């Protein structure tokens, strides 16, 4: 059982909400990344499309091409090899040429993935923790609109129901997050699909409780205004020297 073109066509029609109506989050992370929003910069995040998604997208636009990393960039080469085992690593023409209606599911969802319990229930939105130090949204989950949460939930529920491979991948992603946050001794913050917030307790076998967004910690340059301004200044100096 695998997702088909019709599933992605539906996702592109129905998952269109912005993460936030009040904030253009790229304005916060881009100054720390030489002016490029972190998730639109293939040096930071390599988008992956499943084969049916790739077919649908290639019929809609020429925005996307397959991504071939610099052969000297061993890390990127390894990541692309891993993506290409089941999907297609790809790259767009960059943020200045973004076509909103032709964003991949990966773009529409970032920085979130569907968090599944050990039993396989899709309870909420987890985030790709590897971007904690770069993505402003991860440190500001309170700005995520309920409309985005609903559309994300509907899109991924359809995908998980239709595609065993996607289901298994997110089951493993969620298990990995539990392992890592348990080692850290931290709660996993989740946005509840039903509204509000949840936390997965560390070393608890995945026990989930209601949470307040105030319990969720901030990361890196986003811990305070002062830290952010200092980091912007530091990065400006680095980019000016390049
Ligand atoms: S989702 Fe995160 S990484 Fe992407 S533009 Fe917004 S703040 Fe930046
Ligand atoms: S299509 Fe738009 S949102 Fe997606 S990576 Fe490219 S610039 Fe970013």
Q: What DSSP assignment string belongs to 182-232?
A: HHHT-PEEEEETTSSEEEEPTTTTS-EEEE-GGGSPP-GGGS-HHHHHHHH
Best residue among 21, 24, 28 to mutate for probing ligand 1's pocket (most ligand atoms within 8 Å of CB) is 28
Helix (DSSP H) and strand (DSSP E) numbers for the chain: 8, 8
Nearest Cα to 115, choosing from 201, 43, 191? 191
Minimum-distance ligand to the CA of 30?
1
Residue 221 Cβ inside 6 Å of ligand 1? The answer reads: no
pTM for the whole structure: 0.96
Residue 3 Cβ inside 6 Å of ligand 2? The answer reads: no
208 bridge partner residues: 200
CA of 214 to the centre of ligand 2 (A): 30
Q: What DSSP assignment string belongs to 34-56?
A: TTS-GGG-TTT---EE-HHHHHH
Please give the pLDDT value at position 176: 98
Q: Return the ligand 1 atom nearest residue 29 CA.
A: 8
CA of 110 to the centre of ligand 1 (A): 7
Residue 56 Cβ inside 6 Å of ligand 1? The answer reads: no
Across the chain, what does the average pLDDT equal? 96
CA of 75 to the centre of ligand 2 (A): 22
Instruction: For strands 88-91 and 48-49, give the pairing.
Output: antiparallel
Ranges of each domain in the chain: 5-241
pLDDT at 1 over 80: no
Please give the pLDDT value at position 82: 95
Q: CA 9, CA 101: separation in Å to the nearest integer? A: 11
Query: Can you read off the two tokens belonging to residue 233?
Result: 């200044």
What tens digit of pLDDT does each residue of 79-115 get? 999 999 999 999 999 999 999 999 999 999 999 999 9
As a whole-number percent, the residues of the chain with pLDDT over 70 amount to 100
Contact 138, 131 (CB under 8 A): yes
What tens digit of pLDDT does each residue of 120-174 get? 999 999 999 999 999 999 999 999 999 999 999 999 999 999 999 999 999 999 9
Q: CA 160, CA 185: separation in Å to the nearest integer? A: 29
């Amino acid at each position: 059982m695998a997702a088909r073109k019709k599933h992605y066509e539906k996702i592109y029609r129905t998952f269109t909400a912005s993460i936030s109506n009040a904030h253009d989050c790229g304005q916060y992370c881009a100054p720390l990344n030489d002016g490029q929003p972190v998730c639109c910069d293939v040096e930071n995040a390599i988008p992956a499309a499943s084969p049916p998604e790739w077919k649908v997208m290639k019929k809609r636009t020429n925005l996307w091409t397959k991504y071939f990393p610099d052969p000297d960039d061993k890390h990127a080469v390894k990541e692309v090899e891993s993506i290409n085992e089941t999907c297609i690593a790809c790259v767009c023409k960059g943020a200045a040429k973004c076509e909103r209606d032709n964003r991949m599911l990966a773009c529409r969802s970032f920085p979130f993935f569907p968090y599944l319990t050990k039993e396989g229930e899709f309870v909420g939105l987890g985030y790709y923790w590897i971007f904690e130090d770069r993505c402003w949204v991860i440190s500001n989950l309170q700005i995520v609109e309920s409309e985005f949460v609903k559309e994300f939930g509907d899109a991924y529920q359809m995908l998980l129901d239709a595609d065993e491979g996607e289901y298994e991948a997110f089951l493993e992603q969620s298990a990995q997050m539990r392992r890592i946050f348990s080692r850290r001794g931290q709660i996993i913050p989740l946005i509840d699909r039903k509204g509000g917030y949840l936390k997965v307790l560390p070393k608890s076998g995945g026990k989930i409780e209601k949470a307040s967004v105030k319990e969720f910690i901030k990361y890196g340059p986003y811990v305070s205004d002062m830290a952010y301004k200092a980091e912007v200044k530091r990065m400006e100096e680095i980019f000016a020297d390049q």
